[in-house]
Structure formats: structure tokens, C-alpha cells
Chains A and B, each alone.
Chain A
Amino acid sequence: MLEIVNLHASIDNKVILNGINLKINLGEVHAIMGPNGSGKSTLSNVIAGHDGYDIISGDILFDGESVLDFSPEKRAHLGLFLSFQYPVEIPGITVSNFIRTALNEIRKAKGEEPLGASPMLKMMREKMGVLEMDKGFLSRSLNEGFSGGEKKRNEIFQMAMLEPKMAILDETDSGLDIDALRIVANGVNSLRSNRNTFIIITHYQRLLDYIVPDFVHVLFNGKIVKSGDKELAIELEKRGYDWIKKEQE
């Protein structure tokens, strides 16, 4: 599904990604962990097509096709979703209006008819139920005045609505209390299937108690330096990142 081949990327002439190799198949959940500044958010931005980064070398393949020249929206149309670490506010645009616009843009790109108001609303209610969200959410201005937890829940709600093939969750757990974490994790788990895949970027093992990954990777200095299964995450939680850093020196 997603293949990253020896990817090098920089921002303002500073190299951040230093040869990333990663292969993800449908149905898999991969966790990427690593200390601050290791390049986790850069990786998710680069996969999503943010134009603030220079790709020095390497490739990103989506279903075997290189997407490096694709705009962010084209990647979204192919089924890529990024749950942002810091979702932006768009004053005056309601959550429901935003999601309707996004969903129909993606449908349009696929050559499908726009979804009508009534099936749309039905779908929204259903997904909101899973995420235990209040109906009033729909008519609020997108992310404006939302608490940290509400913003993250709203990201997962959008993901549930857009049904992406590949979702990257960038530190979705930060700013969530234990209850919200459980609800969000339940939401993600309910979407897991053999038709999609997830990359979960996190600092902590905590989220991985709820969303059990198939693979865990450690990112350090822009490189994946260790890969394993969920046991690796538990070890990291116990021992921190220092031993990894030492191994690299």
C-alpha cells in the first residue's frame, strides 16, 4: 500500500529525514515512536505533501505509484488522511459544512456524485455515536474555541467520515485525558480493517495499550533505527530512548 524508499528531506537546508525505508501493507497498523526532534512530524507532513520541505532523494509510493509530484489534495483523493497534531481553526465554517465539503471534493475527484444532505447527516450521527460526541459539535465553528481533546476527537471524526485507505495519526494522544483516549482508540479500532492501514505517531506507549500495533519503529535522527512488535514499545516505555541513542553513537 505505502512504500517509502530511502527518503531524504530537508527544511531550510537542514536535513531532517536521513534515509527512511518503510513498507506498509493493507490491514497493518504501524507505530512510529522516537524522541523530540527525531523527524516524526516531518515524516507525516512529507507523506501528506506539505510543500515546505525539499525532497533530496528517495521516493514515496502509494499502491506502487510515486506520489512525490502530487499535490496534497490529490494524495487525499487517493485515500491519504493526516490527523494533525495541531489542527487549525477556520472561523465561520461549521464542522458539518467542512466535512461535507471535504467528503464531496473527494467523491468528485473519484467521479462519484455528491452525497445528499440526508444520508450525510445520517452518516455523521452514526460516526459521532461511536466517538461519543455531542450533536452540537456539528454546528460549531471548525476547531474555534475547541479544547485540545475536542480538536483531536474532531480529527478522528473527520477520519471516520472520509474513510481513508491510509491514516496517519500524528500525536493524537497528546492533550487527551484517559477517557478521551479510550474513546478515540475505540473509534480507531472500529475502523480497522483489511482494506486500510494506520501509522500512529506517538511519544508514549499508553495509546498503544488501546490500539495494538502490528509493528513498532523507532525514529532517531531522521532514520528508522529499530523495528519490532508491540514489545518494543513496552521496552521503550521502561527504558526511555537513551539506550537507543547510545547504540547509535
Chain B
Amino acid sequence: MSDNDKIIDEVTSSDYKYGFSTQLDSDTLKPGLSEDVIKQISLKKNEPQWMTDWRLDAYQIWKEMDEPEWANVNYSKPDFQKISYYSAVKKKQIDSLDEVDPELLKTFEKLGISLDEQKRLSGVAMDIVIDSVSVATTFKKTLKEKGIIFCSMSEAIQEYPELVKKYLGTVVPKSDNYYAALNSAVFTDGSFCYIPKDVRCPMELSTYFRINEAGTGQFERTLLIADQGSYVSYLEGCTAPQRDENQLHAAVVELVAMDDSEIKYSTVQNWFPGDSTGKGGVFNFVTKRGVCEERAKISWTQVETGSAVTWKYPSCILKGDNSIGEFYSVALTNNFQQADTGTKMLHLGRNTKSTIISKGISAGHSHNSYRGLVRMGPRAKNARNFSQCDSLLMGDKCGAHTFPYIEVKNPTAKMEHEATTSKIGEDQIFYCQQRGLSPEAAIALIVNGYCKDVLNQLPMEFAVEAQKLLAISLEGSVG
């Protein structure tokens, strides 16, 4: 294990093994989950009674559920009684970049991340001279003028309880699945966003602009509401390697797209994937779903390169007539990573359309599965779906799997499904080498070409970073 891996490994697993028992103070709850713990979380967050009741209800549901086992992944299940569900203990403050692991800084450099951003990501205390603060201030002002609400979930519960009450859990119900139920009971924070009627959000919304509030929690809850005729593009995550002391991540994202609105939701996920021997790494069990009313459109784009185990299916409920759902995904697994990811397109309304483009890349000893459901309901007259699921294999020790599920209950519905599996050819690599590219550069180029249809969906700067990220994630997988 390299020093870098060791450090990351320690950071990601140590708190888990020992909980917070050595540093308990008034703002940290003892490990374990119970009604009492949930009441305390709610109390510490000064939440209204309805929110507390909502959480308790979710907890009751969760207790009755079993952890799902159908996914094509293997891991030892987390012990939910060993997790501390609330901690206000600050991470150790670092004073300068000199104290940060040089390997991590090297990666930042390769990704072209600015110094200020490097400091923020590696937890260095930041002072007054930060460009991004003024950017964020201007940003907030512009949003306010348009009537756009963009804040943390905790703030939304206090400031906009009516909106939260009305929509929370309507797209992903508490009882949806095991991790969603757990998240509903114990979520600590996340993002809330509301775009008013006919407003086009003038910039990409990103948690980046929430700076000090940005620390992603273990159980994140995001709710995004696009009112009639509005448009928003939302960016989640970042390409820099994210270290986190929590091993289990169970987030829930709900999108509400009202009539004629459009939501574009882009994710880059690069949590610690475990070391090259498969030790450590984040379990990422996420529930993401959006509902489209009439003529609304939801577009999910994801680039997944991190986490030891990924279990994630961003989905669209195409409820309104003429609504559109899209899913563009690149999932890259290396070493011993496992990913079971895909989407669900549920066509309820007439003339609904969906597109699925999934690009899996497996290297090392990893396993990469696409799992997707396309369901055309009885009312979904003239519904259309196009699915394309491609797998790219590197080496002969990895696996690529495709599990497409199709249910059609309306005879006028049309579906197309295409799937390919390919390997990077030695002749392709030699060709590139002959033109002066190293084998690593050749593979990065070939992989980026393979992912182009998905990367093109990302906002420009994000796409450039994602390209570099794919190259970095595959380093050491050749030869």
C-alpha cells in the first residue's frame, strides 16, 4: 500500500472502527440508532415537530425492512449500531497545504484545481482573501433577484417549511427502500432548491457556492423543485478525490419537475474507492429519482469513478403526457471496485420519451454492472425508449454485466435496446504510441472517445475535468 493509500485508508476507516468514543462531547451522539437518537438529532437541529414525527415514522419503516441483496455486489454489511448518526465535532484543522499529503496535491495539480480550491478540498483553514467568497456573494444576490431559493436542507426546514412539507418524500417515499428509509430517519443535511414559475436559473447551481456549508454528509438529502416552465442545471460533487471518515453513504435526491419545466442534474462522484488491494473505500448507496409532469424534462448525467461499492439508479417517473427522461452515465471501476448502477424509466403518460446511454468501463479486478428498467404503463400510448449500454473491458480479470429489464403494457409503445462489449485493442494503443502518445495517454484518449456521448452532456468545464478524472482513475491499469 502506498503512503497515500495508507493515509486515505486511515482517514476513511478509523472513525468507523472506534466510533467517536474517545472524543465524545456534548455535540456528538454515541454510536447506535434508536428512537431516542433520532429525537436527539431533530432536537439538536431545532426541527419542528412534524419533521421529528416524519423521521420517527421512517425509522419504524426501516426497522421492518431488510438490507437488499439483489445487486451484483459483494461486501460485508455495515453494522448500523456502530455508526454515530450525529456529530458536530470539527475535523482536525490543517493550517497550510504543506501539511497535506503530497500525493493528493499531485492529483489536484493533474486535475488543474486552483490553489484556493485545493485548500478547501483538503480542509485547510481559509482566510479572508478568497475569490470564491465574493463570487458566492454575487451569485447569491443574482439568485435572490430571480426568486430562486438555494440553501441547505436544514435552513429550508426552518425557513420554507411549507415547501419542504409539501414535497419531501413525495418522489422517494420513506418506504421506498432500505437505504432511503434509513436516510429519511437520520439525514443531517443536504441541499434544497426551488425555481419559481417561468424562471430560467441563470447559472449552474453547485454546492461549491455554498462553501462553508458544502461538507457533504454521510446521509445527504437533496430536494429540488422546478416550478412550471422553469429551468435549472444542477452540479453535484466534484472531480477532486474526496476523503471522508464515513464508510457508508446513503443519500437521497428528489427532483420535482412541474409542467413545462426542465431539470438537468449532473454528478461527478469520486469518493475514495479503496486501495489497490480492495481494502477500505466508501459504500455509496444512493436513491435518486425525479418526477416529470406534463411536457417536463429531467436529464441525469453521471460520471462515477469513486467508491468501493456503488449502488445507484437515478430514475425518472414520466407521469405527465409528453414528458421526457434522459440518463447518461459513465461508470468506471478499477482494482477491486464494484458498481451496480443504471436507471429506471417509468412511462406513465402518453407520448413520453426516454433515452438511456450507459458506458461502463472495467479495469483491474473490478465488476461493473448496468441494471436498468424501462416500464411502459397501460396508459403510455406511443411511449418511446432508446437504450444503449456499452461495456469496455481492460485486461482479463474484470467483469462487465448488463441487466436490462423491460415491461411493456401498451401495444403502441416502442423500445430499442442496443448493447456492445469491447476491449481496448492493442493495435489501437500501438497506433497511438506510433504517433507519440504513451500507453497511458493512449488509453485516456480511447476511453474519452468511448465516453464522448455522455461527457458531451456535462457543462463545459465539468466535462474537461471529468476527462482528466477518467485518465487519472485508470492510471496503473495498463501493462
Residues of A within 8 A of B (CB): 48-50, 52, 71-73, 76-77, 80-82, 84, 87-88, 90-93, 98, 101-103, 105-106, 109, 141-142, 158, 162
The answer to whether the Cβ of B167 comes within 8 Å of any Cβ in the partner chain is: no
A92 pairs with B433, CB closer than 8 A: no
Candidates B433, B439, B445, B453; contact of A98 at CB < 8 Å: B445
Using A88-B425, A93-B449 as known contacts, say yes or no to A102 and B431 having CB atoms under 8 A apart: no
B449 pairs with A91, CB closer than 8 A: yes
A76 pairs with B436, CB closer than 8 A: yes
CA distance A50 to B451 in the complex (A): 27
Candidates A50, A91, A141, A158; contact of B435 at CB < 8 Å: A158
A105 pairs with B441, CB closer than 8 A: yes
A6 to chain B, nearest CB (A): 25
Q: Which residues of B contact A48 (CB under 8 A)?
A: 430, 434
CA distance A103 to B446 in the complex (A): 17
A162 pairs with B428, CB closer than 8 A: no
Nearest residue, chain A, Cβ from B447 = A92
A88 pairs with B434, CB closer than 8 A: no
B428 pairs with A76, CB closer than 8 A: no
Residues of B within 8 A of A (CB): 425-428, 430-439, 441, 445-446, 448-453
Nearest residue, chain B, Cβ from A86 = B427
CA distance A49 to B431 in the complex (A): 11
A72 pairs with B451, CB closer than 8 A: no
Candidates A76, A84, A92, A106; contact of B451 at CB < 8 Å: A92
> What are the nearest 4 A-B pairs in CB distance?
A92-B449, A92-B452, A72-B433, A93-B449
Nearest residue, chain B, Cβ from A51 = B430
A148 to chain B, nearest CB (A): 16
B435 pairs with A93, CB closer than 8 A: no
**A to B CB contacts below 8 Å, 22 in the list:** A49-B433, A71-B433, A72-B433, A73-B437, A76-B434, A80-B434, A88-B428, A90-B445, A90-B446, A92-B450, A92-B451, A92-B452, A92-B453, A101-B441, A102-B432, A102-B436, A102-B437, A103-B436, A105-B436, A109-B436, A141-B449, A162-B435
A109 to chain B, nearest CB (A): 7
CA distance A11 to B187 in the complex (A): 62
A93 pairs with B425, CB closer than 8 A: no
Given contacts A52-B426, A88-B425, 19 further A-B pairs with CB under 8 A are: A48-B434, A49-B434, A76-B434, A76-B436, A81-B434, A90-B431, A90-B449, A91-B449, A91-B452, A92-B450, A92-B451, A92-B452, A92-B453, A98-B445, A101-B437, A106-B436, A141-B449, A158-B435, A162-B435
Using A76-B436, A102-B437, A158-B435 as known contacts, say yes or no to A90 and B453 having CB atoms under 8 A apart: no
Nearest residue, chain B, Cβ from A141 = B449
A76 pairs with B446, CB closer than 8 A: no
CA distance A13 to B87 in the complex (A): 66
Q: Which residues of A contact B432 (CB under 8 A)?
A: 90, 102
B448 pairs with A73, CB closer than 8 A: no
A82 pairs with B434, CB closer than 8 A: yes
Q: Which residues of A contact B446 (CB under 8 A)?
A: 90, 93
Q: Which residues of A contact B453 (CB under 8 A)?
A: 92
Q: Which residues of A contact B426 (CB under 8 A)?
A: 52
Q: Which residues of A contact B427 (CB under 8 A)?
A: 88
A120 to chain B, nearest CB (A): 15
A76 pairs with B433, CB closer than 8 A: yes
Q: Which residues of A contact B448 (CB under 8 A)?
A: 92-93
Nearest residue, chain B, Cβ from A78 = B436
B435 to chain A, nearest CB (A): 4
Q: Which residues of B contact A105 (CB under 8 A)?
A: 435-438, 441
Candidates B425, B428, B435, B452; contact of A102 at CB < 8 Å: B435
Q: Which residues of A contact B452 (CB under 8 A)?
A: 91-93
CA distance A80 to B435 in the complex (A): 9
A85 to chain B, nearest CB (A): 11
Using A92-B453, A93-B445, A93-B448 as known contacts, say yes or no to A87 and B437 having CB atoms under 8 A apart: no
Using A50-B430, A88-B427, A91-B450 as known contacts, say yes or no to A76 and B435 having CB atoms under 8 A apart: yes
A199 to chain B, nearest CB (A): 14
CA distance A102 to B438 in the complex (A): 10
CA distance A158 to B112 in the complex (A): 29
A84 pairs with B437, CB closer than 8 A: no
CA distance A142 to B434 in the complex (A): 15
